[in-house]
């Protein structure tokens, strides 16, 4: 059992990293707005689906251009027709993908704002119902920090949690089927960085969550110190304690900055490792795919399709 004397960050470090009850409560808040959730989900599915077909037409364009330039197919008119068709398909798919992505982002942000409004109302209503003894021991700065940082963290769940999960599922599952059905070996190599990045992302999420809670606690201390000084500024000046209070505030501020720097370094290490994993897989795909092109097993357009899909999958 975790001691109640531990801070929130220490409780998180010692306890469960994912609480199904909390996640369920957040999901219930999200699904109180079924119309927006439905629009966001459909727009995400369509946007990701259109994005899946862009690499395929890009590969066909490269194959057509290469074949036409080598004289395997007729004259200049056919070259222009094939390239114009490929360009128009890619442009059309990109426009459709962009339109549905715009709908996804708009309704995703509106869903975020609806969740934030519901949480702010519930938070205010709960604070109003608490006993006077609670307000005797609770600092206003602590309540303000909780009301700002906690709500700000939860409000982004629909756009970063729900939408991103649906998009990644469509891209990974749909792309895996398309790539592996084209060439199993090259498809597995192209997707090899996905599980590595997934594991590293989960580890980074746990570390960043712990540091975020730690920074929130230190921000609470900093806010309390500022509140006490502003409300008791006359007492501070009466006892000529300006230098002492400035030194104390600087100490609390430095503690917050230290945790913020730790969060920054954790994010940099995580993104650097993910980038290294991706480019390692890209290099291996180029090497294996290039040998397959030289052996005549696949075309240059097929290799282009694999590489383009890897670039798309790396973006989220």
How do residues 206-219 score in pLDDT, each as one tens digit? 888 888 878 877 88
Q: What is the pTM of this model?
A: 0.73
DSSP 182-197: H-HHHHHHHTTHHHHH
Nearest to 17 by CA among 260, 273, 202: 202
Which of the two residues, 307 and 80, has the higher pLDDT score? 307
Residues in Cβ contact with 259 at an 8 Å cutoff, skipping those fewer than 6 apart: 211, 214, 215, 218
Q: Is 165 left (phi over 0), alpha (psi -120 to 50) or beta?
A: alpha
Which pLDDT score, from 0 to 100, does residue 1 have? 40
Higher pLDDT, 245 or 7: 245
Task: Locate 44 and state its tokens.
Answer: 């995400």
User: Do the beta carbons of residue 293 and residue 55 sit within 8 Å?
Assistant: no
Instruction: Determine the pLDDT at residue 3.
Output: 47
DSSP per position, 188-241: HHHTTHHHHHHHHHHHHHHHHHHHHHHHHHHHHHHHHHHHHHHHTHHHHHHTT-
Q: Is the pLDDT of residue 264 over 50?
A: yes
Fold classification of 8-314 (topology level): ABC transporter transmembrane region fold (1.20.1560)
Q: How many CA atoms lie within 13 A of 286 on its CB side?
A: 8
Query: Highest mean pLDDT range out of 4-8, 30-34, 218-222?
Result: 30-34
Q: What is the pLDDT of residue 71?
A: 58
Look at residue 232 in the predicted model and tell me its pLDDT. Answer: 76
pLDDT of residue 10: 64
**185 has a pLDDT exceeding 80:** yes
For residues 107 and 35, what is the distance between their CA atoms, to the nearest angstrom? 10
- pLDDT at residue 287, rounded to an integer: 92
> Can you give the residue ranges of every domain in the chain?
8-314
Give phi and psi for 130, each to the nearest 5.
-70, 155
% of the chain at pLDDT higher than 70: 85
Give tens-digit pLDDT for 86-101. 788 888 888 998 899 8
Confidence of residue 2 (pLDDT cuts 50, 70, 90): very low
Q: Is the pLDDT of residue 49 over 80?
A: yes
Residues 297/167, Cβ–Cβ less than 8 Å: no
């Amino acid at each position: 059992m975790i001691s109640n004397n531990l801070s929130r960050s220490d409780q998180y470090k010692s306890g469960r990293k994912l609480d199904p009850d909390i996640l369920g409560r957040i999901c219930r808040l999200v699904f109180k707005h079924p119309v927006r959730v439905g629009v966001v989900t459909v727009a995400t599915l369509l946007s990701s689906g259109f994005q899946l077909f862009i690499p395929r037409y890009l590969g066909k364009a490269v194959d057509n251009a290469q074949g036409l330039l080598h004289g395997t197919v007729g004259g200049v008119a056919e070259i222009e027709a094939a390239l114009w068709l490929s360009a128009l398909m890619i442009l059309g798919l990109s426009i459709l993908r962009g339109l549905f992505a715009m709908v996804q982002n708009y309704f995703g942000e509106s869903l975020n704002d609806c969740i934030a409004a519901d949480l702010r109302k519930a938070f205010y209503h709960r604070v109003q119902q608490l006993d006077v003894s609670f307000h005797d021991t609770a600092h206003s700065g602590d309540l303000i920090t909780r009301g700002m940082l906690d709500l700000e963290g939860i409000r982004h769940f629909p756009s970063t949690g729900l939408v991103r999960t649906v998009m990644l599922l469509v891209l990974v599952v749909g792309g895996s089927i398309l790539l592996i059905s084209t060439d199993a070996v090259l498809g597995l190599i192209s997707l090899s960085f996905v599980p590595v990045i997934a594991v590293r992302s989960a580890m980074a999420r746990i570390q960043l969550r712990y540091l975020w809670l730690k920074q929130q606690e230190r921000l609470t201390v900093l806010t309390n110190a500022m509140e006490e000084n502003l409300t008791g500024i006359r007492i501070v000046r009466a006892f000529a304690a300006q230098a002492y209070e400035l030194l104390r505030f600087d100490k609390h501020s430095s503690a917050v900055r230290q945790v913020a720097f730790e969060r920054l370094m954790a994010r940099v290490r995580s993104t650097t490792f993910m980038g290294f994993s991706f480019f390692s897989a890209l290099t291996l795909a180029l090497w294996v795919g290039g040998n397959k092109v030289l052996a005549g097993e696949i075309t240059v357009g097929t290799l282009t399709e694999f590489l383009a899909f890897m670039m798309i999958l790396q973006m989220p």
